[in-house]
Structure 1
């Protein structure tokens, strides 16, 4: 027997498993892996499952999502009269931005589970639920009764589906049909997916209106006389004066901030200074709408030369960038640069180069899982600066001995690098025994705005616009190492100072023809790749690890080019 919520036996087994987990911290071996993982996350996060209310936060209600969804979901709530179901809309952070219930009993059910405008349904707040799970996985899902760890939801079923931006393909929020546990689940699933499709069509119609508002904001700012730009991640309106002050990579960076503002619902900053001293001010292009940023550029003084406003910490490492992810890294490192660090990141992101930029000219030791290497480390700690690379190679016992050495008295400034996705326990051991500051070095796919400049630097060539676009649409699983190899090949292929898209490898041109993956899609692709690696390529075992069916795994592998 399984753990299906649409059968009496399944619900009974789920209730027993939940009780076992809450009282004895044990889980049945055959509980679906995704549910086991969700319950464990809630336990580690300290979720109070007995809390009788759901935290609420202020939420913006005048957003493109709410405007597009309101007529669709209001009609849907009316159509559901007699089914005992309510309709709930969340934003991309799992915060409720709309509730519709056309029956008194349904409204009472929403009140019992404390679902109202602003309710925070994120997993840290209420455990996994039909909205948080949909936003985490990016696909429709039905979740009900004792699948919830949260006590308030034990008699509730929630069928959710994501709402996706029709242009950027980013997930904007989720629609959920909420009712009592004995509802017809297949019907609910069909209803939600139909509703999200209708909302996405409304968003398509609204796109042209949004672009019109951006154009009006641009014209009001006076582009003929002022250095201004309006960006939203899709639309670029840049005045001639602004184009003369901003470099192409500056505009790419500002576009990254505009995309982040649309995703987070607020500007990440209101002022930015580029490396050459040009200062820009960021404002919402349309009041009350975070999807669009008005950029006002401060011209440099007429008599002063444009100069660097600050020296990038990594300027000499050939890694410097201006994307939000890279600037965040610079700030993190600058705050703790005199303390021991553990730099984490994927292969090829430049962890060692970052460490060298911080330490200057360190003594470098590549980790080896033997006692001789530990003796070398002990001797090296007499030096002023030490870089320990690839500590993920160490087994638990030697990692513990390394932590003891590093935590002892010595004059060295130490930075260690750890490659993520290797399954190594070394990082946990070092956290406990050494307590370094942990900093994640971002992957190249998180630094889209930096890619053209890095490519020009690595290849020593000029890039055409189609080459830049092709490079920025690639996901770069090999990160900086892959980009260096691609640019070396492209420069040789071009046999001249200019590289265009036709000089790039065919696999990059092929990927550029497809829509860029959303952050959730990238995370899903990585999770599937990791599961296949763990399962040594066994697809049946990988599907089990992921908690999905084999057919679903095969379909997603084809979609992400993993087959």
Structure 2
């Protein structure tokens, strides 16, 4: 394959791809999907891939996982001494809880890559690696050399495998067989998988008798794909089929029955209806547990029709555009204020929500707006043209007694404050074109044009200050230049083809900037709440605010 780490050409291509991603945030089209996803995750978490050490955190020196794994991995490390490989164990949070090396060269290698008990190998600190990738995907992986973004790992190969709790089937941690690029790679993956299965057997043997008996009950009740669960208030074993049918609320309800059974020494039996027509059968499960079998599932959901935007003929499938569609769908019956730059398509989005509304301009006489509100659906355009006083009067009118479904549009400005306090609509931001440049080929097609790969790249590098109106004008002129054929880069205006004079955001950066800006908006500027919404730390958020000029 083109990106194999055990060939000279593959390594060279990976190094070029890594450098391009780190400097320009661009990913080759033929880069393996799993690696593209891993690099994106690493980048979004803000990992500092240039640091020369791995941050450390306190870890428990003794745990059930460490006790079960130590004899297995210590023996494996001795067997691997001739292959110049070491073994590493992490907990479920990617924190190293054990390292084993059978010879001095491998101990030195672990020291060079700063791998020791307590080292934090999560994606937020070291990017994608054989531990963090396994814990993110629950799948084994062989990752090496420039497949790591972290600079310290450029000469390291890691075969990782998950260690799963044999009772609950939750991830307990991960193991990794570690070596340098000169070691033979063919057997590493098999060794890691075999070691993880051996540790899982040791965990089962070390499990309390209560948990083993619950597992025996579960295995006897679910030999195939039956929808079965066993609970006792402390341990929960749920088959995949049951997990597809039982909601978290359903499982919490059953857990309460199991707790009561353990307390009273008597498990309920018979049938129970949960939620919307989901029937389960309850039976005792020794010792003091509850066996749950789903006997009648909810009827399948009807196949959904076309989405809001597809039904309205609006083009786009990028994450910001899909996020907008979901927000509008949730707010269907509420008054909505669409915010966005000029030319982003706010009126078209409003019509997708309203159908065929009565359209009025915000600066028309109040009487005209009042007459429009006698209808079923009203689109009020250009609220940014109002001064705060007139915006307040209009907000009072919109908040008054009428039956119309109202959607208003505006470019954010001073008139926004009274609308928020007096009318209080659902505020939804329409993304700019530079935030959704992945949609440009689809938009060009909607405008009746086809693009070459080179033309698409040029268009996606542009900032589009004029948004959709500018794109439509560019596509129209380029189509005329191409004589109705496929548009190439040479048919585009020279101002678009020239090298940019300042760094431009990649597609990933545009999407992230939009996500950060939206989180700040919904959190009313509160950075602590915005960081929590994004699932990142405050320090990471501050770096991104500075990078994107949002601070």
Calculate the TM-score normalised by the size of structure 2: 0.47
Structure ID, larger Rg:
2
TM-score for the superposition, normalised by structure 1: 0.46
